[in-house]
Structure 1
C-alpha cells in the first residue's frame, strides 16, 4: 500500500470469476486499444485471467484507489512467458503490464502514481533485480511513463502480436527516477 497526494493505492489478488465483468469493461474500452482485447467477450476475459492466475509463471492483481478497483497489474517471468527467445533473461528479471481503468474524470498525475506503485510493489520482492516491459512501439504515452520511473529502452523486438519496445529498469534506476 502506498499513500500519495492522490489517495491510497493498494493491491489485492485478482479473482477471475468475480472480477471478469469489471475487467471486461476495462480491456474492451477504446482507451485500452494497446491491451489488444477490444473484441473480447466476457467469457474470453474470464478464461484469460483464469489461465493467468493458474500459471506458476505469472499472476495478476487488482489495484485499488482509496479502496475501489482502479487499475490492473500483471507480472510474469520473462524466462517462461511473453519474451521467451526474444532476449536473454537475467536472474531477478520480472515482466510487468499495467492498465488504468477508463474514467470520465481523469485525475492529473494518477497514471504516474499507479506505475510508481506498481514498480514499488515489484521491487518490494527482494529477488526482483530488474523489471522488463515490452509495450507497443506506437504507445508513446506509456513510453513516457516508463521513462519517468526509470526504464531505459534497449531495442525494438518483433512479437507475434506487435512490434514492441523492449525496456528495462533496475532497482537503482527506479529509485533515482522517483527521487528526482
Structure 2
C-alpha cells in the first residue's frame, strides 16, 4: 500500500478536509521525529529520541502484526499521527478484560505555528471515525497518562467513559473506553465503510 493511498477521509464543516494514509517509517521519519521530540509531545515519551531511534521504532510498528501507524492529513498536509493496536496483545495485556472488537488507539497532533480553534477535537474525531469505519471495531480503548488532563477532556468530548487508573511499566494510565454508539451519540457522526 502506497503512502499516497487514502484509507479514510472526512470533511469537517468548519476546518475542511481530513484524511488518513499509511505511514512510511523511512519516508516519514524526519516528519515524525520533529513531532515526537517537540516539547508539546512530552506524553509521547520520545523527547530525547534521535532520528534513527524514530526510524527504528516506526519500522518495528510497521512490521508488527498487531500494531499500525498512519499519517493524518489536514487539507492534504501532514498534521497528525494515528496508531491503532490490539490491546489484548499489546500495551494492556493483563490490565483489563479485553472484549472482541476492542481496538487500542494513540494519536499525536503535529506542533503548529498558528493554532486553529477546534483543531485537536477535529483530529480525534477523525481518528475515531477512521477506527469505527472498520465494522469489526466495536470499542476503542485508550490509556493516556493520568496527568494528561487535556487529552482526558478530548476523550470525553468524543464519547469515552473512564474505567479507572491502571499501572503500566512506563506510567500510570487512565483506562477509558468508547463504543461505536457512544462515539456516534457524542459527535453526531454515523460510522461505516472500511479502513
TM-score category by the smaller chain? over 0.9
Q: Does 1:35 align with 2:7?
A: no
Structure 1 unmatched ranges of 5 or more:
none
Is 4-13 or 138-147 further displaced after alignment?
A: 4-13
- TM-score of the two chains, using structure 1 as the length reference: 0.99
Structure 2 unmatched ranges of 5 or more:
1-8, 190-195
CA deviations over 1:156-178 (Å, ceiling 9, x no partner): 00001000000000000000000
- TM-score of the two chains, using structure 2 as the length reference: 0.91
Partner of 2:65: 56
SS of equivalent residue, structure 1 residue 79? coil
Which of 11, 14, 17 pairs up with 2:20? 11
Which of 95, 108, 116 pairs up with 2:125? 116
The structural deviation recorded for 1:38 is: 0.2
Q: Does 1:149 align with 2:151?
A: no
Partner of 1:2: 10
The structural deviation recorded for 1:7 is: 1.4
Partner of 2:108: 99
Partner of 1:137: 146
Give the number of equivalent residue pairs: 180
Where does structure 1 differ by over 4 angstroms across 4 or more consecutive aligned residues?
A: none
Report which of the two has the higher share of helix. 1
Partner of 1:160: 169
SS of equivalent residue, structure 1 residue 18? coil
Which of 29, 37, 45 pairs up with 1:20? 29
CA deviations over 1:88-115 (Å, ceiling 9, x no partner): 1000000000000001111010000000
The structural deviation recorded for 1:34 is: 0.2
**What CA distance in whole angstroms lies between the structure 2 residues aligned with 1:173 and 1:7?**
24
**What CA distance in whole angstroms lies between the structure 1 residues aligned with 2:86 and 2:44?**
19
